[in-house]
Amino acid sequence: MDLLELKAIYKSGVNIIDYLVCRGVGRTDAIAISYDLQAGTYTALADENSTYIDEYTSEIAETLNTLGAGTESIMEAGVGEATTLANVRRQLRFEPDSFGFDISLSRALFGQKYFNRKGRGSSSLFVGDMFSIPLADDSVDIVYTSHSIEPNGGREEDALSELYRVARKYLILYEPSYEMATNEGRQRMDHLGYVRGLPQVADKLGMNVSDYRLTKVCSNSLNPTAMLLIEKNKRASGNRNVEYRCPNNGERLQLSHGCYWSESSLRIYPVVLGIPLLTPQHGIIATHYAEFI
Ligand X SMILES: C[S@@+](CC[C@H](N)C(=O)[O-])C[C@H]1O[C@@H](n2cnc3c(N)ncnc32)[C@H](O)[C@@H]1O
The reply on whether position 87 binds ligand X by CB under 6 A is: no
CA dihedral 127, 128, 134, 139 (to 10 degrees): 90
Nearer to ligand X, 87 or 265 (CB): 87
The reply on whether position 108 binds ligand X by CB under 6 A is: no
The reply on whether position 84 binds ligand X by CB under 6 A is: yes
Rounded distance, CA 200 to CA 207, Å?
10
Rounded distance, CA 20 to CA 30, Å?
6
Residue partners of 225: CB distance under 8 A and separation at least 6: 147, 174, 175, 176, 177, 214, 215, 217, 218
The reply on whether position 195 binds ligand X by CB under 6 A is: no
With CB under 6 A as the contact rule, the residue among 80, 96, 119, 176 that binds ligand X is: 80
Handedness of CA 113, 101, 283, 151 (dihedral sign): negative
Nearer to ligand X, 98 or 148 (CB): 148
The reply on whether position 78 binds ligand X by CB under 6 A is: yes
With CB under 6 A as the contact rule, the residue among 83, 123, 248, 262 that binds ligand X is: 83
With CB under 6 A as the contact rule, the residue among 16, 33, 35, 74 that binds ligand X is: 35
Query: How many Cβ atoms from other residues are within 10 Å of residue 62's Cβ?
Result: 14
With CB under 6 A as the contact rule, the residue among 152, 177, 225, 239 that binds ligand X is: 152
Binding residues (CB under 6 A) for ligand X: these are: 28, 31, 35, 42, 76, 78-80, 83-84, 102-104, 107, 129-131, 146-148, 150-152
